[in-house]
Amino acid sequence: MRLISIRSLLLMTILCFNFAQQPLSLCEAARDRYIEIATFNIEHLTVKGKNIKQIARVIKDLGLDVVGIEEIEEVAALEKLVGYLDGFKYKITSGNAPIRVGIIYNSSTIDVSQTRQITSLTLSNPNIFRPGLSIRAKVKPDGFDFTMAVVHLKSKGGGREEETDLYRRQQIQCLSDWLDKELQTNPKERDIIIVGDFNELLERAPFAPLIKRKDVKVLTEDLPPGNISYIGKKGNRRYQSLIDHIILYKGKGGAFEEYKAGSISLLKNYSQKYPDYDTPVPPDGVTLISDHLPVYAVFSTRDND
């Protein structure tokens, strides 16, 4: 048995060497490759008052390939951010809402062929509520292809709790309806990923329209107790909670089939790695990086459809 194992090892070494110059060797084909997809609320992303170079460093350190970005106040700030990330490009929503959502992606790895807004999330009031953004994307050259949506739902501020709860429930119902429409419109494409700042805990009533679905997997459900994505600001730790989520369609042919089991995570030890991460600075008290942590998950680049 030992002799057979050594022979097998030698054969594999020879194959790897002989095919090393090919675009995709047998050895490479035998290995799983992965991309990382994330959501990141960068509090009040503007050119002034934010350490955009450090924000880019967070994204680089985590090795993220596609990131849903929330709280974009200035397009110039998003442009500056991707300028620090080699090969990255961006897509962003339009409209009258004071802050927007966008998606940044590594164009050397990911090809984006379609961009659309999810206008139903505005609840017919685009001056107050933000539309979502969806992209059709594919890992180059012929890998995992998927639809990804980023959202930023109504916060709990600016109204009575009963009122803001109702708005978020309506928006989450809109997301559930959007998912159904995507499945009906493109029945062969079921790799659907929804990321974003939901401003909501999974166990509360507003999340019911998605939580009750048997064909949906909320990855953040699997994070160990005590994990939080909204960390607040240094000196003000009120309302810390897990409100940033990644959700997958898990029906047959869905993105859950490409998900690397157990890979859902969020940025760890941020205060040691980036000492001023959540430090508020005058005059507006906006954090240098953010009051949220990026939440991310790993996916195989193999298309399992």
Q: Which residues have C-beta within 8 Å of that of residue 7, sequence separation ≥ 6? A: none
Tally of residues, the chain: 305
How confident is the model at residue 10, as a pLDDT?
A: 44
**Cα separations in angstroms, 70 against 67, 202, 208, 240, 244:** 10, 19, 23, 18, 10
Q: 2 — phi, psi (to 5°)?
A: -65, -40
User: If you compute the radius of gyration of the chain from its CA atoms, what whole number of angstroms results?
Assistant: 21
Digits of tens for pLDDT over the chain (305 positions)? 333 344 444 444 444 444 344 444 444 444 569 999 999 999 999 999 999 999 999 999 999 999 999 999 999 999 999 999 999 999 999 988 889 999 999 999 999 999 999 999 999 999 889 999 999 999 999 899 999 999 999 998 877 889 999 999 999 999 999 999 999 998 888 999 999 999 999 999 999 999 999 999 999 999 999 999 999 999 888 889 999 999 999 999 999 999 999 999 999 999 999 999 999 998 889 999 999 999 999 999 998 77
DSSP H/E element including 297? strand 295-300
pLDDT value at residue 14: 43
Domain chopping of the chain, boundaries: 35-300
- What's the CA gap between 25 and 15, in Å, rounded? 8
Tokens coding 57: 């460093």
Domain 35-300 is of which CATH architecture?
A: 4-Layer Sandwich (3.60)
Say which residues have a Cβ less than 8 Å from residue 189's Cβ, sequence separation at least 6.
145, 147, 182, 305
| pLDDT for the residue 260 | 98
pLDDT for 159 equals 74
Residues 191, 305 contacting (CB under 8 angstroms): yes
Give CA–CA dist 114/200, Å, rounded: 29
pLDDT of residue 24: 41
Quick one: pLDDT at residue 157?
80
Q: Record the pTM.
A: 0.89
Cβ-contact 242, 201 below 8 angstroms? yes
Q: Given CA atoms 35, 40, 45, 51 in this order, what sign does their dihedral have?
A: negative
pLDDT value for 138:
97
